[in-house]
Amino acid sequence: MSRVLVAMSGGVDSSVAAALLVDEGHEVIGVTMKTFCYSDIPAHGKTCCGLDGIMDAKRVASTLGIPHYVFDVEEDFTRDVIDDFVSEYARGRTPNPCVRCNSNTKFRDLLARGHALGCDRIATGHYVRVTHSDEGTALLRGLDDGKDQSYFLWGLPQEMLPKLLFPVGELTKSKVRERARTLELTTADKPESQEICFVPTGDYRDLLRKRLGPVHPALEPGTIVRADGTLVGEHSGFAGFTVGQRRGLGGGFPEPMFVIEVRPETKEVVVGTRDELFGSAVAVRELNWLTDTPSPGDAVRVQLRYRAPAVQATVVDVTGGEMRLALGDAQRAITPGQSAVLFNGDRVLGGGRIV
Amino acid sequence: MSTVYLDHAATTPVRDDVIAVMEPYMSVTFGNPSSTHRWGQDASAALEDARAKLATAIGAHPSEVRFVRGGTESDNLAVIGGARAMSTPEARPVVLVSAIEHSAVLEPAEWLHDRGEAEARVIPVSSDGQLDLAAVTGGLNERAALVSVMWANNETGLLLPVADAVAWASGLGAIVHTDASQALGKVPLDVADSDVDLLTATGHKLGGPRGCGVLYVKDGVEVEPLIFGGGQERALRPGTEDVAGAVGLAEAIHLAVAELETSATRLRSLRDRMEARLVDRIPGLRVNCGNAPRTPHILSLGLPGIDDGAAFLMALDLEGVAASGGSACHSGAAAGSHVIEALYGSNDPLITVRLSVGHDTTESDVARGADAVGTVWARMSRGA
């Protein structure tokens, strides 16, 4: 068996992933990536080693009898994930920081550190699977439809796939919890984390205010308009709006209104009816492929947000780092900044960020 | 796999003979030293015996010994409490600390500065242990309140010229604090001879219990308390005294000082053996502060060709060897050490690994430790 580095967040999934690998006889090394500080007062406390996730992971590692280390990636994470998150909102887009982290920070760092520690393989608690064949390694959806996390992993470098293990991808969430309880892991009944890890309060606008400063166009009042330019209201900062949103638009409309576009250059939030929210053309940039690059005319399925179903689409073209897709059926709230992930059945082909 | 603990500058196992003297004070003689009854009297007697023993070991009078909860607390009390006691309404006092102080000295000084209570100035230190006092003297105008210069640096073992600091400070009318946590029991030290005003020491660096420290306060020197709620330790550190801890601390310090001559020779020989082995094995290795006076128990290495110092320590641990980066306080931190930066500049390309020996270290331990460092270095160094 081999030496495996397991990224342990302190949550139940990665705890069980580590446990399964121990059971399989691997030499397992647990690591937790310290990505940020909860504290807003870093002036004197230059380190914060007391993050709950780290403590939970340490306890689980101790239960499993494996070593555990903390990887401090705060600087890289801030630059590659948090700064991107903030600048995307400032540009009127809706970022997905988990995709960004997996593509740019987490796996890259794990692999580099794993190499230094003599590890052959890297494992995480994601609900996805990898299969190996003569044609290479494929990334597949996790078996549990309700938990599948393949949407977040399209940005992995293709050459990394053969080194990755996703032990819980073969299980359902309830099996994972059952397993954790059998092992008496402290994290067995920990609630699901829903929030973005660096926005524990859930109020991302608060983070934007802190990082953009009090005076920034994205946080200044602007107008709410219809697609034809008709003024229908005012808002307190376009960074608080995402395509498909209903909240915060004020009332008095004859029918339900949704955000259909954010225009940062004029600070306008454009609203429209449910019908106006649907679109059938998608442009995608920052592409990454886990298989060969698709060709124009290819029939694929595309997932446009986490937990949305993959829908039928045709590749129109792939040129100059941009791919255009024509959707079989118009979809609701195609949101710039979110990912478009291409599938063939359960297999992840790759993806990019929606323009 | 056999394991080797070479991180005695982080903490040490408590000596068996120290545990033995502590034990009765956790069970039989458990009283509160402030109580009137005989239980209290017995505890109080033990506490005062410990105070006297500790005082003798460091050359102090018992009335000058304050038991506190560890080295960090002692440093905080000295810097903040000492500066406050020295401040006058007329002018903002100046606190002068060496650039390579422990964060338990640096951060309180910065804190005073940020709050406007004092001006903090940092005294540059060279890698051969010289203080650049001229760099911080300008515009003091009799405002110098407190100078803090550690006796031995925790990351490198570098011994600082505390006597120079004392002579300089007395000319400025400032009091002098020294953090001797890594020095006591490793090099000869007598508070009366040194003429410092405040001295910090802690138990767990020399085979004593953790969470037990001392602040020596020279008779006549004022220090303001930081916590309140009882008159213990001359009101400088209120709270029911940890009698067992004080007894253990005093015993550990007493033993370390009594055994100093033989133990220092032994530790130095172990350290030097390890050093020689590594200098042989790793081309381009720098022994940090290698040409300066150092404590006998610390070997600080500047390793060439390694990108990731944190991973180096993890890899060493996987080889069964305990070591530290700079200090043990920043586990997992990617940021470099302020000490190495102060001594070797911010563009220093070497990573730091600290190996430190103690009373339970053997010759085979240091051979094994040096070999593990060599092995991991060979695997991780660029181009290897």
Number of structural domains (chain A) is 3
- Please compute, for residue B243, the number of CA atoms within 13 A of its CA located in the half-sphere on the CB side: 24
Q: In terms of domains, do A101 and A49 share one? A: yes
Q: In terms of domains, do A237 and A338 share one? A: no
Specify the CATH architecture of the domain B16-258.
3-Layer(aba) Sandwich (3.40)
Residue with the bigger pLDDT between B163 and A184: it is: B163
Tell me the domain boundaries of chain B: 4-12+261-380, 16-258
The answer on pLDDT for B144 being more than 80 is yes
* pLDDT of amino acid B359: 92
A118 close to B (CB below 8 A)? yes
Q: Measure the CA–CA gap between A313 and B384, rounded to whole angstroms.
A: 50
* pLDDT of amino acid A44: 36
Please report residues of A whose CB lies closer than 8 A to that of B75.
none
Q: In terms of domains, do A242 and A304 share one? A: no
- Is the CB of residue A92 less than 8 Å from the CB of residue A68? no
Q: In terms of domains, do A264 and A225 share one? A: yes
Q: Measure the CA–CA gap between A81 and A73, rounded to whole angstroms.
A: 11
Tell me whether residues B315 and A75 touch, CB distance under 8 A: no
pTM score of the predicted model: 0.87
* pLDDT of amino acid B330: 45
Q: In terms of domains, do A239 and A335 share one? A: no
Q: In terms of domains, do A174 and A311 share one? A: no
Mean pLDDT calculated for residue range B138-143: 89
The answer on pLDDT for A40 being more than 90 is no
Domain boundary among A239, A254, A273: A273
Q: Measure the CA–CA gap between A289 and A160, rounded to whole angstroms.
A: 12
Mean pLDDT calculated for residue range B163-180: 96
Closest CA to A283 of A245, A321, A309, A311: A321
For A124, A161, A201, A349, the CA distances from A111, given in Å and listed in that order, are 12, 11, 31, 22
Residue A67 lies in a domain: yes
Distance of CA B173 to the CA centre of its chain: 25
* pLDDT of amino acid A38: 55
CATH code assigned at A304: 2.40.30.10
* pLDDT of amino acid B327: 56
Average pLDDT, chain A: 91
A51 close to B (CB below 8 A)? no
Q: Please write the tens of the pLDDT for every residue from B252-275.
A: 999 999 999 999 999 999 999 999
Q: What is the 3-state secondary structure (H, E, C) of A286-303?
A: EEEECCCCCCCCCEEEEE
Closest residue in chain B to residue A46, using alpha carbons only: B330
Which tokens hold the place of B64? 């000058």
Q: In terms of domains, do A101 and A234 share one? A: no
Q: In terms of domains, do A135 and A266 share one? A: no
Q: Measure the CA–CA gap between B150 and B179, rounded to whole angstroms.
A: 4
Residue A213 lies in a domain: no
- Is the CB of residue B109 less than 8 Å from the CB of residue B84? no
Instruction: Give the Cα-Cα-Cα angle B336, B338, B339 (nearest 5 degrees).
Output: 115
**Testing the interface with B: which of A32, A55, A66, A71 to mutate, by most B Cβ within 10 A?**
A71
Tell me whether residues B110 and A75 touch, CB distance under 8 A: no
Q: Measure the CA–CA gap between A114 and A71, rounded to whole angstroms.
A: 11
Beta-bridge partners for A326: A281, A314
Q: Please write the tens of the pLDDT for every residue from B280-311.
A: 999 999 999 999 999 999 999 999 999 889 99
Collapse the DSSP code of A45 into the 3-class scheme (helix H, G, I; strand E, B; otherwise coil) and give the result: coil
Q: In terms of domains, do A167 and A145 share one? A: yes
DSSP code for A146: T
Mean pLDDT calculated for residue range B330-350: 78
The answer on pLDDT for A314 being more than 70 is yes
Mean pLDDT calculated for residue range A286-297: 96
For residue B320, give how far its alpha carbon lies from the nearest alpha carbon of chain A (Å). Answer: 11
Closest CA to B206 of B352, B334, B58, B62: B58
From the list B110, B111, B311, which residue is nearest A116 (CB)? B311
Please report residues of B whose CB lies closer than 8 A to that of A74.
334
The answer on pLDDT for A263 being more than 70 is yes
DSSP code for A329: E
Q: Measure the CA–CA gap between A340 and A154, rounded to whole angstroms.
A: 9
* pLDDT of amino acid A244: 95
Q: In terms of domains, do A173 and A306 share one? A: no
Q: What is the 3-state secondary structure (H, E, C) of chain B?
A: CCCEECECCCCCCCCHHHHHHHHHHHCCCCCCCCCCCHHHHHHHHHHHHHHHHHHHHHCCCHHHEEEECCHHHHHHHHHHHHHHHHCCCCCCCEEEEECCCCHHHHHHHHHHHHCCCCEEEEECECCCCCECHHHHCCCCCCCEEEEECCCECCCCCEECCHHHHHHHHHHHCCEEEEECCCCECCECCCHHHHCCCEEEEECCCCCCCCCCEEEEECCCCCCCCCCCCCCCCCCCCCCCCCHHHHHHHHHHHHHHHHCHHHHHHHHHHHHHHHHHHHHHHCCCCEECCCCCCECCCEEEEEECCCCCHHHHHHHHHHCCEECECCCHHHCCCCCCCHHHHHHHCCCCCCEEEEEECCCCCCHHHHHHHHHHHHHHHHHHCCCC
Q: In terms of domains, do A176 and A320 share one? A: no
The answer on pLDDT for B332 being more than 70 is no
| Residue A146: pLDDT band with limits 50, 70, 90 | very high
Closest CA to B47 of B215, B236, B240: B240
- Is the CB of residue A341 less than 8 Å from the CB of residue A150? yes
Distance of CA B185 to the CA centre of its chain: 11
Q: Measure the CA–CA gap between B53 and B47, rounded to whole angstroms.
A: 10
Closest CA to B145 of B192, B79, B233: B79
Please report residues of A whose CB lies closer than 8 A to that of B107.
44
The answer on pLDDT for A47 being more than 50 is no
Return the number of other C-beta atoms located less than 10 Å from residue B52's C-beta: 15
| Residue B333: pLDDT band with limits 50, 70, 90 | very low
- Is the CB of residue A160 less than 8 Å from the CB of residue A111? yes
Burial B325-349 (b: 16+ CB within 10 A, else e): bbbbbbbbbbebbbbbbbbbeeebe
Closest residue in chain A to residue B306, using alpha carbons only: A116
Domain boundary among A236, A254, A273: A273
**Testing the interface with A: which of B107, B314, B331 to mutate, by most A Cβ within 10 A?**
B314
* pLDDT of amino acid A46: 40
- Is the CB of residue B18 less than 8 Å from the CB of residue B366? no
Quick check: is A197 catalytic? yes
Q: What percent of chain B has pLDDT over 90?
A: 91
Strands A136-141 and A128-133 come out as antiparallel
Q: Measure the CA–CA gap between B51 and B64, rounded to whole angstroms.
A: 9
DSSP code for A58: H
| Dmax (CA) of chain A | 67
The answer on pLDDT for B167 being more than 70 is yes
Q: What percent of chain B has pLDDT over 70?
A: 97
From the list A43, A69, A73, which residue is nearest B114 (CB)? A43
Tell me whether residues A49 and B380 touch, CB distance under 8 A: no
Which tokens hold the place of A335? 């949101």
For residue A210, give how far its alpha carbon lies from the nearest alpha carbon of chain B (Å). Answer: 21
For residue A87, what is the enclosing H or E element?
Answer: helix A83-90
CATH number of B4-12+261-380: 3.90.1150.10, 3.40.50.720, 3.60.40.10, 2.60.120.310?
3.90.1150.10
Q: In terms of domains, do A175 and A237 share one? A: no
For residue A257, the enclosing domain spans: 220-273
The answer on pLDDT for A114 being more than 80 is yes
- Is the CB of residue A137 less than 8 Å from the CB of residue A130? yes
Catalytic residue among B279, B329, B367, B380: B329
Residue A198 lies in a domain: no
Residue A238 lies in a domain: yes
Residue A215 lies in a domain: no
Q: Measure the CA–CA gap between A185 and A94, rounded to whole angstroms.
A: 36
CATH code assigned at A130: 3.40.50.620
Q: Measure the CA–CA gap between A81 and A46, rounded to whole angstroms.
A: 21
Q: Measure the CA–CA gap between A175 and A182, rounded to whole angstroms.
A: 10
Distance of CA B105 to the CA centre of its chain: 10
